[in-house]
A and B are shown apart, each in its own frame.
Chain A
């Protein structure tokens, strides 16, 4: 045993401090070699797009993919059975998409508050045992049961939920007869997750709308590998076309890590689309994906699901597991919706997590009131505290106490959309016994009125959905101040959409060739009618095809910029006059 230590003097202390020069480990350098900005521009660029704006862009991409030209289909089938093969490592994006992407400059804007809409349960769901209440109806088991009953075939599923995987959503399309199961690998590394999609459909894969004339899903022919999945022929691809920051041409890159596997069995086709977080180690490769594909099963009876305290999909589940009487806001910033709740076993504490990027986190913890030294504000007439952090990592914090619970609300403003402290207090005061739960099946028609009120606009609607069309989805965006309503055809694979905006940020008609555009008269105003669309060729070039089945009408009325369009050959909406008649029937 030795005695040591003589307190250093001031100079020695400075010298010692100067010697503290830590350096990061080799592992850090390895990890940073795959940092988000190095991997490729797309993931970064798509993430950097304002989500709302990106959503609009992606929507347009998907809508663009809803039709097919005979020429496109013919060459696609020659070079690959499933993937759309092209003979180029570069794809020129259509002018329309180039403009939309280049216009994107990380807008920063305020989010209005929108009342939370809790949908009622659908008639079909009520008939499925155990799915009678809305919260349960959102569970994996109920979603699969509903999709199977509507689509008329059994879905293949993972034999068991792998550890750390969270079921995100199940969507399906009755016309095209396909379903999309989405999982998130809940291992967050940095700020990204890995995503896994299992898509399956009946009939010909060429009917799958996402892959038709969609440059983002195309593959260079020589990158398609023929594989066998349990004796069935399939195709495997590693890599994807992506957009480097500031570029207007898609380039092929394997560094995106994206892997896709497509195969068919009898009259059904299957697609696995895996987008790993590149920071994650031990990710899956081709052999593992094939093994996974071969292990998929058709469940005869799904076992009852147990609650996962780290990923609870409704407030009532969080209450059940924590024993707390939780409150949730009845008003939320636009498009910041309930995502999941997390219950902590070591204390009576629950986090409610909202938003695709987890922008809003509300902590509720049992205990005595905690007093802070932060500035005081009033919530429900009682003292509360708020604090902010500024700069690129801007947050708003609000702490308050009510009925035995300490609340902390944390809103991350760094994504470019903001709320102010007044809105935060309004949200805090709206907290009540509301059973919010993750909504997996898109928007509801009732939300149109809520968005109108939040954006302060009087949108036009059909008195009732036109014959041959049924409401499909709605979303709103406070940056462009637009409300978009989508209808799908009851017969055929067509989409009708109406965008109504208080600003002209979405509208640039100069991208369409003049010879395909003409001025038309509407009820009280004039509009512009365009027919045709950009079509991708085997050489990766996009050319305008005036015969492509896309019709659009643009006009201004009552202070709104309005766009109405139809994709696909519709039996009920065949020509310009039909579209004008639809436009004039809006009230």
Chain B
């Protein structure tokens, strides 16, 4: 056996050791428990809500994944990417059906932040998030996805670049421009009634 083929064989073995499969309900439940929050936030960020719809899309993502699990081979990161792609297709399919990203009217800040951290968020920040959320929806789908991965899921630039198969520079520049765009679209003043 040559050195190269020996290395290939070791790599193959290592790959197999890290490889995940989901042959039964238990292993799939573990995958669900580990990933559902990220998938939900991704779908919510991409679709813009309403909450119920994002929950339905999340549920459907796992149903579809369960149906096609036998075709999946890969490690933990690949499993997450696989679920994200299913979720993305479902979200795109939904947006194609309704043509525009509809932001829920009168949405509540409570639905956008973790209830555990809500008491720590002051009133101004809450108002700012209420403005920011619809602005996020005005971004093109691919840019919005980068923002969602970066901030709602907390991914590193490198991770996003690998997932989307683009350069790190492109991710970095795109995100900066998106932030600037939302900044410039930010309403300079907003009047609010307090009856």
Residues of chain A at the chain B interface (Cβ within 8 Å)? 1-5, 7-10, 12-14, 16-25, 27-28, 31-32, 35-38, 40-41, 44, 47-48, 105-106, 108, 190-191, 244-246, 279, 389-393, 395, 414-416
Contacts and interface: CB of A to CB of B under 8 A. Distances in A.
A371 B25 CA distance: 45
A117 B190 CA distance: 64
Given A17-B147, A190-B59, A244 B183 contact: no
A27 B50 CA distance: 14
A7 B68 contact: no
A245 B67 contact: no
A245 B22 CA distance: 10
A337 to B, nearest CB: 21
Contacts of B183: 7-10, 13
A24 B55 contact: yes
B76 to A, nearest CB: 17
Contacts of A4: 124, 127, 189-190, 192
B151 A14 contact: yes
B179 A37 contact: no
Given A4-B127, A24-B54, 14 more contacts: A1-B191, A7-B183, A7-B188, A10-B183, A12-B128, A19-B121, A22-B41, A24-B58, A35-B63, A37-B66, A48-B66, A392-B64, A392-B89, A393-B86
Given A21-B152, A190-B63, A5 B190 contact: yes
A10 B179 contact: yes
Nearest to A15: B125
Contact of A21 (B60, B114, B128, B193): B114
A25 B59 CA distance: 12
B90 interface: yes
Closest 7 CB pairs of A and B: A17-B151, A393-B89, A7-B186, A28-B55, A391-B85, A21-B114, A392-B68
A279 B60 CA distance: 12
B131 interface: yes
B25 A5 contact: no
Contacts of B133: 20
B44 A22 contact: yes
Contacts of B112: 20-22
Given A2-B192, A13-B132, A19-B121, A393 B85 contact: yes
Interface of B: 23-25, 28-29, 32, 36-37, 40-41, 44-45, 51, 54-56, 58-60, 62-68, 70-72, 82, 85-86, 89-90, 92-93, 111-115, 117, 121, 124-125, 127-129, 131-133, 136, 147, 150-152, 154, 176, 179-180, 182-183, 186-194
A14 B182 CA distance: 11
A414 B114 contact: no
B163 to A, nearest CB: 13
16 contacts: A2-B191, A2-B192, A4-B124, A10-B179, A12-B128, A16-B129, A19-B117, A21-B114, A22-B111, A24-B51, A37-B29, A37-B66, A48-B66, A108-B71, A245-B25, A415-B67
Nearest to A391: B85
Q: Which secondary structure dominates chain B's binding surface?
A: helix
Contacts of B186: 5, 7-8
B131 A393 contact: no
A251 to B, nearest CB: 13
Contact of B23 (A2, A7, A17, A245): A245
Contact of A35 (B59, B72, B182): B59
Contact of A5 (B41, B66, B71, B127): B127
Contacts of A415: 67
B129 A20 contact: yes
A109 to B, nearest CB: 13
Contacts of B72: 392
Nearest to B176: A10
Contacts of B40: 22-24, 28
Contacts of A14: 151, 179
A13 B82 contact: no
Nearest to B45: A20
Nearest to B123: A4
A47 B67 contact: yes
B188 A48 contact: no
Contacts of B25: 37-38, 40-41, 44, 244-245
A414 B90 CA distance: 12
A97 B38 CA distance: 40
B63 A36 contact: yes
B67 A48 contact: yes
A390 B124 CA distance: 42
Given A24-B58, A392-B82, A38 B115 contact: no
B24 A41 contact: yes
Q: Max chain A CB contacts within 10 Å: which of B60, B68, B90, B186?
A: B68
A37 B28 contact: yes
A3 B194 CA distance: 11
A20 B114 CA distance: 8
B93 A395 contact: yes
A10 B179 CA distance: 6
Nearest to A397: B96
B129 A19 contact: yes
